[in-house]
Structure 1
Amino acid sequence: MTSRCILQTTLLLYFSTMALAMSNDLLRSQLSSSSLECQELLLQLNGTTEYCLKDRINFEIPEEIEKSRQFQKEDIILITHEMFQKIFDIFRRNISRTGWNETTVENLLVKLHWQKEHLEIILEDVKEKENFTWDNRTLLHLKKYYLRIVQYLKAKEYSICAWTIVQAEICRNFFFLNILTDYLQN
């Protein structure tokens, strides 16, 4: 009888570990795919950087993100959610002067919104299943970073050059998102 219980417990642990690994792989795959699609849409917007070089600025992405230190799975989900949310909020702003293709911008917003919603569902599951506390410092640094981007756009009165600089910075964000997503496999 005891050996039967041990066998059942072992099988349960094995299958739950496999399910968790598969869900991490699926999440990583979805995040990577979505980031790549968003990046491609951003590149389709064709910002002209030659005459905008004087407007460049270092928005100072948080060091934790730039150095890509090892985060827990839950941290990665929270950080990527925040990044998708803030990027979504930025591109909902006044883009009328950019001359960008509205369909491309709309497709970008749809993709960002879908990913944001998907991550919100996962975050709710994490909150329910685990007693997880968020790293507020990293999140605070991230919010300040995106606030600097918004303030820059406002200061430059949403000019085409400002949007071109922001577009390049957001493309850089997806590079960091891909690095963070890769940590989900570990």
Structure 2
Amino acid sequence: IMSAFGLIQIGLILSSTTIISSLQCSHLPLQQRKVIENSLRLLDKMGKKFPQQCLREKMSFRFPTQVLQPRHKETVGVAIEEIFQHIFYIFSKNLTLAAWDGTALDQFQNGLYLQIEQLEACVIKKHTQHRQSKEVSRLKLKKYFRKID
């Protein structure tokens, strides 16, 4: 079960992804900003009611912020894509205790999927020699999301 604080952290991660503009994928910044705003609105709509046992949980998920401050711009895109994939996985699980609005959840997942697709295309286009730092970022994020799951 994900705590309310965990959901808020995910929302903050989503809102911080305007860093994508540094990837120089010219069509993404404006498009992503709109999708992110909509995603935050949907998260708010979905997350109004949390099960009592979730509210009592005190979980600390310290996000590995260094993955969003890499030496190479291309690594940021890989990190954000990885974050979105894990968030998509979390919200795709059968979370029966969460009393979320099903329509809002579907719309949120669709927006997330769209972001993943766009980022994959951009990251593939920008696929460069920084493979090792990209993999380090992926591994750090996988470790972080394993704690949440």
Give the counterpart letter for 1:76 in structure 2: V
Give the counterpart letter for 1:133 in structure 2: R
Contact 1:75 1:134 in 2 (8 A): no
Tell me, in whole angstroms, the C-alpha distance in 1 between the residues paired with 2:72 and 2:45.
Answer: 33
SS at match of 2:131: coil
Alignment deviations for residues 96-118 of structure 1 (CA, whole Å, 9 cap, x no partner)? 33221111110011000111011
Structure 1 residue 134, shift from structure 2 partner: 4.2
Structure 1 residue 126, shift from structure 2 partner: 1.4
- Runs of at least 5 residues in structure 1 that lack an aligned partner in the other structure: 1-20, 151-186
Query: Structure with the greater relative contact order (CA < 8 A, sep ≥ 6): 1 or 2?
Result: 1
Contact 2:88 2:112 in 1 (8 A): yes
SS at match of 1:78: helix
Give the counterpart letter for 2:43 in structure 1: L
Identity of aligned residues (%): 25
Give the counterpart letter for 1:74 in structure 2: E
Structure 1 residue 70, shift from structure 2 partner: 5.2
Tell me, in whole angstroms, the C-alpha distance in 2 between the residues paired with 1:71 and 1:57.
Answer: 30
The total of aligned residue pairs comes to 125
- Alpha carbons of structure 1 residues 107 and 134: separation in structure 2 relative to 1, 3 Å: farther
Tell me, in whole angstroms, the C-alpha distance in 2 between the residues paired with 1:49 and 1:61.
Answer: 24
Query: Where does residue 126 of structure 2 map in the other structure?
Result: 126
Q: Are 1:80 and 2:80 counterparts?
A: yes
Structure 1 residue 94, shift from structure 2 partner: 1.0
Give the counterpart letter for 2:77 in structure 1: I
Structure of higher CA gyration radius: 1
Alignment deviations for residues 137-157 of structure 1 (CA, whole Å, 9 cap, x no partner)? 32211111111111xxxxxxx
Tell me, in whole angstroms, the C-alpha distance in 1 between the residues paired with 2:69 and 2:118.
Answer: 24
- Alpha carbons of structure 1 residues 84 and 141: separation in structure 2 relative to 1, 3 Å: same
Contact 2:25 2:122 in 1 (8 A): no
